[in-house]
């Protein structure tokens, strides 16, 4: 095994894993607060990819060529509009079903996933879309005395930095602010939190908004990295991000990022050293094995039934 290939696949896996981790945060936060799997979350990520292309085209039409300004504006605008999608789904589709059976929101989430897919297909077309490469270039890092190098693009560096900063900010919000305390109280006992004066409907809506914002960050960065996407990407990526959330322990924010990194590295190594056609099979097999030996995930806590 060439050390340079191993190191390069490690870098690729870390980049892929941080992207999965950002999307997985949306699954784990919603499940942690209301115990529901939002299977439409992958389509929120897909919508953010299209919004990235739209905002890039708008800025280009005004003749704006500054790369830093373009990146900041596109990221901010995509986060805002994608977060609005998350709020709208919670307000219109999930809130009326909050006190219904557990199966109803699950079926609704699957239905919303199909609605968003076809909404984008009809409005943007079924063909694959592409965006220009904004951040060109890369830098090389020597790894041994034989001249072996690993090459890291500027976009990959940006993905890792922004993902870690986003995770740090979210962790601060959850542990050091009144919003975070309200989220933790709602997670532990929604009825008691409501009796103590916490607006649990507002807290749940904010959780959906935060999850959508994290998916938007991933959508912008991954689109800049790969340059192409279509209206099907939400399903595959969403399932993988859900797998990452389960691997790390659904309901745990650090677990979501850890699960994403494990899944990204597993995919990268299998694709690089075995067969890229079966990397998804290997990733989901890893999920099965972890669930067999640790059903609550790596950092998750077993659920305790209150009596």
Percent of the chain surpassing pLDDT 90: 49
What is the C-alpha separation between 92 and 89, in angstroms, rounded? 5
Closest of 131, 149, 114, 168 to residue 48, by C-alpha: 131
Residue 125 contacts by C-beta under 8 Å, 6 or more apart in sequence?
none
Euclidean distance between CA atoms 215 and 46, whole angstroms: 9
Task: Tell me the residue length of the chain.
Answer: 307
At 245, list the tokens. 């959330």
Q: Which two tokens stand for residue 204?
A: 């749940």
CA-CA distances (angstroms) from residue 139 to 28, 152, 179, 229? 35, 6, 40, 26
Cα–Cα dist 45/51, whole Å: 10
Half-sphere exposure of 38 (CA within 13 A, CB side): 35
pLDDT for res 307:
46
What average pLDDT does this structure show over 52-65?
A: 92
Backbone angles phi, psi at 139, to 5 degrees: -135, 150
Q: Locate 186 and state its tokens.
A: 């709602």
Res 1 pLDDT > 70: no
When mean pLDDT is compared across 74-83, 145-154, 212-221, 255-264, the lowest value belongs to: 145-154
pLDDT of residue 209: 95
- Average confidence score pLDDT of the chain: 88
Average of per-residue pLDDT across 103-113: 90
> What's the whole-number mean pLDDT along residues 122-133?
88
Confidence of residue 114 (pLDDT cuts 50, 70, 90): very high
- Asked if the model's pLDDT at residue 49 lies above 90, the reply is yes
| Residues ≥6 apart with Cβ < 8 Å to 156 | 11, 12, 15, 225
**What is the rounded distance in angstroms from the CA atom of residue 7 to the CA atom of residue 111?**
41
Geometric angle at alpha carbon 139, from 138 and 143, rounded to 5°: 135
Q: What is the CATH number of domain 3-293?
A: 1.10.3470
Cα–Cα distance measured from residue 238 to residue 240, given in angstroms and rounded to the nearest whole number: 5
Q: Are 220 and 48 in contact (CB under 8 A)?
A: yes
Q: pLDDT-based confidence at 280, cuts 50/70/90? A: confident
- pLDDT band with cut points at 50, 70 and 90 for residue 99: confident
Residue-level pLDDT at 3: 63
End-to-end CA distance of the chain: 55
Work out the angle between the directed axes of helices 233-248 and 103-124 (0-180°, nearest 10). 140
**Per-residue pLDDT at 42 exceeds 60:** yes
| Residue 303 Ramachandran class (φ > 0 left, ψ -120 to 50 alpha, else beta) | beta
Delimit the domains of the chain by residue range.
3-293
Residue 145 or residue 234, greater confidence: 234
Characterise 88 by phi-psi region: left (phi > 0), alpha (psi -120 to 50), beta (else): alpha
Which ranges constitute the DSSP H helices of 251-278?
Answer: 253-273
Say whether 151 sits in a helix, a strand or coil.
Answer: strand
């Amino acid at each position: 095994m060439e050390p340079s290939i191993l190191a390069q696949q490690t870098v690729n896996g870390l980049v892929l894993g941080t992207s999965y981790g950002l999307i997985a945060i949306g699954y784990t936060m919603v499940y942690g607060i209301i115990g529901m799997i939002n299977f439409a979350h992958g389509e929120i990520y897909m919508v953010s990819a299209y919004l990235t292309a739209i905002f890039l085209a708008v800025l280009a039409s005004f003749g704006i060529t500054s790369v830093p300004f373009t990146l900041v504006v596109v990221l901010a605008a995509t986060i805002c509009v994608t977060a609005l999608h998350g709020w709208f789904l919670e307000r219109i589709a999930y809130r009326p079903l909050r006190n219904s059976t557990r199966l109803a929101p699950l079926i609704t989430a699957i239905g919303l996933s199909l609605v968003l897919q076809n909404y984008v297909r009809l409005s943007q077309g079924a063909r694959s879309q592409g965006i220009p490469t904004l951040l060109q270039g890369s830098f090389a890092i020597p790894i041994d005395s034989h001249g072996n190098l690993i090459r890291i693009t500027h976009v990959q560096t940006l993905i890792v930095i922004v993902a870690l900063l986003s995770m740090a900010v979210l962790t601060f919000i959850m542990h050091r602010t009144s919003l975070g305390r309200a989220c933790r109280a709602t997670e532990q006992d929604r009825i008691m939190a409501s009796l103590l004066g916490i607006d649990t409907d507002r807290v749940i809506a904010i959780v959906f908004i935060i999850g959508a914002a994290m998916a938007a960050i991933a959508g912008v960065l991954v689109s800049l990295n790969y340059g192409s996407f279509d209206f099907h990407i939400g399903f595959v990526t969403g399932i993988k991000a859900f797998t990452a959330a389960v691997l790390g322990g659904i309901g745990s924010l650090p677990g979501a990022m850890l699960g994403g990194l494990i899944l990204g590295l597993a995919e990268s190594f299998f694709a690089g050293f075995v067969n890229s056609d079966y990397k998804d099979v290997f990733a989901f097999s890893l999920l099965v094995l972890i669930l067999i030996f640790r059903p609550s995930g790596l950092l998750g806590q077993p659920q305790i039934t209150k009596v």
